[in-house]
Structure 1
Amino acid sequence: MNGIINVLKPTGITSHGVVSFIRKNLNMKKVGHTGTLDPNAAGVLPICVGKATKVSQFLLDKKKRYRAELTLGKETDTQDKSGNVINEAKVNVKESDIIKAFDKFRGNIFQTPPMFSALKHKGKKLYELAREGKTIERKPRKITIYDLDILNIEGNKVLFDVECSKGTYVRTLCDDIGKELGTYGYMSVLIRTKVDMFEIDEALTFEEIKEAAESNRIDDILLPMDMALTQYDKIELNDENYKIISNGGRVSLRNTLITNNQFNLNDKFRVYCMDSFIGIGIIKDYENNYYLKMDKVLL
């Protein structure tokens, strides 16, 4: 049983809690998530099962898309609605001011991670230190906001969609925009709508997953593990190479490809042979000839 389940994580449960739910219902130990989603947030959380856990790392760096709500006028210690209000101010901004403020946060920006986060300082998580009343200096990190669209502005609330890079804290984005507007702001709603190719419209609820498990239909909800590797082009080998390549060997690229591919030294590919996904291969040079060497066999 190997593959990826596109889970619709409910609010009030951690990402590790979702992993535990899948382990229990599938009766499997080898289960892992592809990057944490805040307990108070809902949405897409791809879960890797069996050998697919070997590709979970490749989803960590993928773009993610969220729908969020910014509430202006208050600052909380956690930067979201779960925290304690630590500052308040009047909201005296026009719709045009909000639009201009949002414009400043598109593209490559620097963001300081919040104290209430799972980042570690000397082996201890920042949120643990924050709960002790401690504040640690954090260096701003470069992130990318690929897309930032305001959907609705009503009173002191702004509903928006954001597509961002790994390491982005949407609640910190809300906090920063609030301060840019000369007031305060916190994230009052967060739903993750997309992780790479995994979309919320196709995500499965806990009830749907449990029902599939009880009726022995897990294979029907498992997605192929190569969906996590779309950043690599596909390369196909002739059938006679199956034994070598499936055992982690190397094959010459001369007259062995079914499809014509452009490649350079150290390029990585999704490798297929005999209509099966083999794993990740890398282009290497041996004695002045290009070869495909398996970097990770996933059979």
Structure 2
Amino acid sequence: MNKIVNIIKPTGMTSHDVVSAVRKILNIKKVGHTGTLDPDASGVLPICIGKATKVSELILNKDKSYICELTLGINTDTYDSSGEILEKFNVNVTEDEIEKAFDRQRGEIDQLPPIYSALKVNGKRMCDLVRSGRADEVVLKSRPVNIKELKVLSVNNNKIMFYVVCSKGTYVRSICYDIGKELGCGGHMSFLLRTSSGKFDLENGITLEQLREFKENNTLDKHLYDIDYVLSNFNHVVINPNAYKYYVNGGVIDERRFIEKGFKEEDEIVRVYCEGEFLGTGQLSKTDSTINLKSDKLFIV
């Protein structure tokens, strides 16, 4: 099986727990997730199965969206409600001040990640270093991220519910911490639901219980996605059947062996098909005036 399934992760499970559960339900060893969700968070977690694990990085690089609750007045060491409380503040802010604080988080910003994160220092996760008493080895560095959409949904006393669409590498916990800092009253993330990851969203997701049910009822196929579903942003090329064997064995073919050129001259990576079968991604290059194609990733069995 070389497919992708969109699992709606429940709270209380790590992303690795979800991978282990999918592996057990489907009785398949090669399974991987496409971007960690914290145990306290829930929502969209696409899972790649078999050769589909080769595109996990492509899904990981896509924008993601969340609904989040920010609780003002309390700072924690993890920037979320699972952490140890460090400080408490009185909360006395206006909605206008809240909107201005959110304004400063929109667009391309430099964001400092939480020290309790899976980012690595010399091969070790920062959170593991801190928990083992080696926090002095961690040097936090800000990273550029893009907050493409940030909208306050509701304000209820010290609770702010908001919606965010952001680039890879964004920590929503850091958004909460930074807004609390900007308002001068502290804040932490008290709820997080991932609503989309690339082309996957809550509507096309299933729970682990449903995965097990669909597997037992032989109705799972309609809930699985082909590998090229997540590659639709790439243009395509169809190669001649007489070039198939040479191409899949690593040979470079030129445009004389293309049946269909569904790409632009400036494209570097394309989806490659032959007789209706998706072969994988190919890399285009140009020699003199001839366009050449070499395999980038193969997904055929």
Q: TM-score range by the shorter chain?
A: over 0.9
The structural deviation recorded for 1:257 is 3.6
1:105 paired residue number: 105
1:85 paired residue number: 85
2:211 paired residue number: 209
**Stretch moving more, 208-217 or 24-33:** 208-217
Matched, 1:19 2:19: yes
Q: 1:26-71: CA deviations, max 9, x gaps?
A: 1110111111111110000000001111111111211111110111
In structure 2, give the amino acid aligned to 1:258.
Answer: E
The structural deviation recorded for 1:227 is 2.1
The structural deviation recorded for 1:202 is 1.4
SS of corresponding position for 1:118? coil
Conservation of the 8 A alpha-carbon contact between 2:68 and 2:191: yes
Sequence identity (%): 47
Conservation of the 8 A alpha-carbon contact between 2:236 and 2:262: no
**Stretch moving more, 237-246 or 173-182:** 237-246
1:178 paired residue number: 180
The structural deviation recorded for 1:241 is 3.6
2:236 paired residue number: 234
1:290 paired residue number: 291
For residues 53-202 of structure 1, the aligned pairs below 5 Å read 53-133=53-133, 134-135=135-136, 136-202=138-204
Change (3 A) 1:211 1:176: same
- Distance across 2 between alignment mates of 1:244 and 1:143: 42
Q: 1:1-47: CA deviations, max 9, x gaps?
A: 11100000001111111110011011110111111111110000000
SS of corresponding position for 1:115? coil
SS of corresponding position for 2:265? coil
Conservation of the 8 A alpha-carbon contact between 1:248 and 1:297: no
- What is the TM-score when the length of structure 2 is the normalising length? 0.93
SS of corresponding position for 1:189? strand
Q: CA RMSD in A?
A: 1.7
SS of corresponding position for 1:71? strand
- Distance across 2 between alignment mates of 1:97 and 1:86: 24
- Distance across 1 between alignment mates of 2:61 and 2:242: 35
In structure 1, give the amino acid aligned to 2:145.
Answer: I
SS of corresponding position for 2:146? strand
Conservation of the 8 A alpha-carbon contact between 1:112 and 1:141: yes
For residues 3-18 of structure 1, the aligned pairs below 5 Å read 3-18=3-18
Number of equivalent positions: 298
- Distance across 2 between alignment mates of 1:158 and 1:239: 58
- Distance across 1 between alignment mates of 2:250 and 2:24: 33
- Distance across 1 between alignment mates of 2:230 and 2:251: 23
Runs of 5+ in structure 2 lacking a partner?
Answer: none
- What is the TM-score when the length of structure 1 is the normalising length? 0.94
The structural deviation recorded for 1:259 is 4.4
1:272 paired residue number: 273
- Distance across 1 between alignment mates of 2:94 and 2:211: 46
SS of corresponding position for 2:169? coil
- Distance across 2 between alignment mates of 1:63 and 1:206: 24
- Distance across 1 between alignment mates of 2:110 and 2:259: 44
Change (3 A) 1:217 1:180: same
The structural deviation recorded for 1:226 is 1.2
- Distance across 1 between alignment mates of 2:146 and 2:193: 19
**Stretch moving more, 232-241 or 67-76:** 232-241
The structural deviation recorded for 1:286 is 4.1
- Distance across 1 between alignment mates of 2:262 and 2:271: 14
SS of corresponding position for 2:144? strand
- Distance across 1 between alignment mates of 2:240 and 2:67: 45
In structure 1, give the amino acid aligned to 2:71.
Answer: T
Conservation of the 8 A alpha-carbon contact between 2:25 and 2:212: yes
1:252 paired residue number: 254
- Distance across 1 between alignment mates of 2:271 and 2:124: 38
